[in-house]
Structure 1
Amino acid sequence: MKLYKTLLSLAFAAIFFVPTFSQEFLIHHVNVVTMLDDKILEDHSIYVKDGKILEIAPEKDISARGIQAVDGKGGFVFPGLAEFHAHLPNPDQFGPEFQEDVLWLYLANGVLRIRSMLGHESHLTLKAKVEKSEVPGPRMFVSGPSLNGSSVADPEAGRQMVRVQKAAGYDHLKLHPGLDTPKFLAIADEAKKVGIFYGGHVSLDVGLVTSVTNGYRSVEHIDGFLEAMLPEGTTIDPTVSGPFNMNLVGQVDQTKLAGLIQLCLENKTWIAPTLTLFERYFGYQPAHELRQQPEMVYLPGQLVTQWFNTKTKLEADGVLAETKVKPYLDFRQKLFLDLHKANVPMIMSSDSPQVFNVPGFSIHREIASMSEAGMSNYEILKTGSVNCADYFEESGEWGVLKPGAAAEFVLVQKNPLEDLTTMQKPQAIMIQGKFIQQDELQRQLDLIRKKYGRQ
């Protein structure tokens, strides 16, 4: 096994250990989905140099210039997808090799940017290695370690954690449940002082309104809305209300949503919906079926078993009965679409790796869920490209295809604005100045599967 891991590391290095952005390319005969609008630039070429797009022009108007040329064979090119609720593993879970495997799982699925939402110091090191092209992987935004009711002893401790994480180089703060209002307000105030985005779950004591009005950049999992839509005076008993208080969905007052939407719009709050997480982790599809899905072979068997045990325990306790869960999932799906129709901005997020959500693959399940909820193909692509760049105030630098933007894109066979499933099978990706074709992406998937002894 040790020899195998060494050979695997050498294989990675052979592909990627070269100076950053050392090559230039001309990709011929592609139809370009720029995401500047919903139009297609038919039969164009893209000239890439030093990791940037220098030119996009009709095929007849651009020459090879004596540089390396690739024939796109009439395929479609769109900006790489972003997974904006990811969880990079810690090295003490399944080793540092698993961290790098996860990065390949994203790349092989056309996910070229991630926002990792549960920080560890090793993630900063990994991010730096990716930026230097020492390790292949998507570009990263990394949150710090969790700020929650247990990790934050008092308001001043919360302020200190914010300062430490900002100084360490984290891009974002992740808040988890259990914070009381004084602790939350201290964290929010300090984050604004030092200039770092923050968001996450909505603590019950704090509530959605206080979170949003005090600068929550993103509400993860559409959390806090159900509780904010309950009648005044409703008592929430966590011992009977179920995960995310799903058992209270029948008490929701829909007339309260309009005011919450207006609050989000006024405060420029973003939503990370993670629809597929709830459909799979807290949904009523049996664990034994999810365990057999094909993408599970790309993870350590021990991890999949942990997920199976977690979900089957909920099933055995009656928590995930269809009669309990379906009304809640229907509520979330409608809430997602209502927020979107009201122009509350969405960022593509599935929460991976998480119970039966395999990195990269889960984004395509999230895309299917957004489509089923009623979002158009173009708007779905925006959540995973334009919107994510806007989130970090980097509009136009990536997430679109135009001269001057990062050369981060995916080549597929069909038009994704007409067929979302085509994105599940990238023919090639462009990342970090490298054009990585389908056979290499598949080879890396095969190496990962064999490493974990999966059939």
Structure 2
Amino acid sequence: MPLLSSALLCAALVGTPAPPDTVTAFVDVTVIPMDRERTLPNQTVIVRGGRIVEIGPAARVKVPEGGVRVDGRGKFLIPGLAEMHAHIPGAQAADSMVERTLFLYVSGGITTVRGMLGHPRHLALRARAARDELVSPTIYTSGPSLNGNSLPDPAAAAKAVREQKEAGYDFLKIHPGIRREVFETLAATAHRVRIAFAGHVPLDVGLQRALETRFATIDHLDGYIEAMVREGSPVEPSQSAFFGMNLAEQVDESKMAALVSATKQAGVWNVPTQILMENLIVGGSAEELAARPEMRYVAPATLAEWAESKNSMLEETGASAASARRMIEVRRKLIKALHAAGAGLLLGSDAPQVYNVPGFSTHRELEAMVAAGLTPYQALETGTRNVATFFGTLKETGTVERGKRADLVLLDADPLKDIRSTTRRSGVMLRGRWMPRAEIDARLAAVARSVGR
């Protein structure tokens, strides 16, 4: 699938966030701390120097003199969200395009991204974001793609793993096509030098071996449908196309429980990217998807490419419409089963990607998680507390608590009652820097103009 290479055209960022030492107070707000399912009404939250320094009843907590007051009456404060299957432009993309993509994430309250197709320039971006030199989520980045072409033999795999570890990437990204013997060397070397690997499950490796070798995350629920193909199926798992779209009618659901249990036992997390699949299969026609509000930030030429991808999906995969719909049904059941078993789920939509616009598609993924059977609170966990648990940063991030990093989103309605409320934002706080709705809207308008909208 093509990335959003032409959707975000070059345009300079409009202004910069407030200085990091500014004191900001969210006054008389309902806090949804995400430490457990609860709300704390009528609170005042004080932020100073990028940290939450005080939380307490609005009647008791005083706003420091000179602090920025944000009226929280009737509003809800949640932790910043994470996009755990993000893409950041690389290669020859202009700096302004990169910055625009990163801003779009922030505009949607996405304060952490995990880049899934790394490039050397992303290491510098990660550092610049940490120094607040650009409006960007906190970045975790993979190295460049490891696939059947880039890793022709075990020696190449060992070399690539060592080089990416030495370069400072956060993890390795696995793509399709890697032969089993090559993967074994990759996994062994990665464990030896202590760098995680994540992403796709190559067909020659299979889900069972992916779990045994402890993928950090399996993305797209890759490998599960293939592992559930019934005995005697006329279509072999090795013939899988697009995450098993052509195999779904051959699934034996009785195999699901054992796979879920093995996933839990292995400690492997999943990033479903369910909305990507639903966009392509059950999300409506290409014309209906193109009419979504966020498509104003996508160039017409890119929308045409996306329409072509959607309209040709069944032909390219050899799947029937019934098999494609069955794929969605099975994936929803799998998501619910993984959660029920305590196997970790992380929020990720795969953006930018077909009809997935950065900063917007993450919220559609939350809706997809609820459609799969999670409660709104459980869906929010996948993008907040679970992410901090996965990265080992729960002492710093993931919940709204005193002493934690001030990555926050102020909402106009209660997301625990309706998950769609995460799209109703009054503003975003990024590492202690408050960006009100008016500022975000002004920057979004510039993005729309840049693509001729």
Question: What is aligned with 1:72?
Answer: 71
Change over 3 Å in CA distance of 1:282–1:299 after alignment to 2: same
Matched residue type, 1:346: L
CA distance in 1, matches of 2:61, 2:52: 14
Question: What is aligned with 2:147?
Answer: 148
Indicate conservation of the 8 Å contact 2:246/2:319, yes or no.
Answer: no
1:25 Cα deviation (Å)?
A: 1.9
CA distance in 1, matches of 2:350, 2:316: 24
Could you tell me which runs of 5 or more consecutive residues in structure 1 were left unpaired when the two chains were aligned. none
Question: What is aligned with 1:174?
Answer: 173
CA distance in 2, matches of 1:113, 1:87: 12
Q: Percent identity?
A: 34
1:129 Cα deviation (Å)?
A: 1.7
1:408 Cα deviation (Å)?
A: 0.5
Question: What is aligned with 1:305?
Answer: 304
1:253 Cα deviation (Å)?
A: 2.0
| RMSD over aligned Cα atoms | 2.1
CA distance in 2, matches of 1:149, 1:400: 40
Question: What is aligned with 1:436?
Answer: 435
Change over 3 Å in CA distance of 1:381–1:99 after alignment to 2: same
TM-score normalised by L of structure 1: 0.92
Question: What is aligned with 2:88?
Answer: 88
Matched residue type, 1:211: A
Change over 3 Å in CA distance of 1:239–1:35 after alignment to 2: closer
Question: What is aligned with 1:350?
Answer: 349
1:422 Cα deviation (Å)?
A: 1.8
Question: What is aligned with 1:15?
Answer: 16
Question: What is aligned with 1:259?
Answer: 258
Higher share of residues assigned helix: 1
Indicate conservation of the 8 Å contact 2:248/2:324, yes or no.
Answer: no
Matched residue type, 1:88: I
Change over 3 Å in CA distance of 1:72–1:376 after alignment to 2: same
**In the alignment, is residue 378 of structure 1 matched against residue 377 of structure 2?**
yes
Change over 3 Å in CA distance of 1:314–1:226 after alignment to 2: closer
Matched residue type, 1:80: G
Q: After TM superposition, list the pairs within 5 Å mapping 1:50-449 onto structure 2.
A: 50-74=49-73, 75-90=75-90, 92-93=92-93, 95-232=94-231, 236=235, 241-283=240-282, 285-314=284-313, 322-449=321-448
Aligned length, in residue pairs: 444
CA distance in 1, matches of 2:239, 2:206: 19
1:122 Cα deviation (Å)?
A: 1.8
Change over 3 Å in CA distance of 1:233–1:216 after alignment to 2: farther
1:377 Cα deviation (Å)?
A: 0.8
Q: Secondary structure at the match of 2:247?
A: helix
CA distance in 2, matches of 1:68, 1:186: 56
Change over 3 Å in CA distance of 1:273–1:365 after alignment to 2: same
Moved more, 323-332 or 217-226: 323-332
TM-score normalised by L of structure 2: 0.93
Offset from partner CA, 1:273-296 (integer Å, 9 cap, x none): 111000113447322322232211
Change over 3 Å in CA distance of 1:284–1:448 after alignment to 2: closer
CA distance in 2, matches of 1:295, 1:239: 37
Q: Secondary structure at the match of 1:288?
A: helix
1:34 Cα deviation (Å)?
A: 0.5
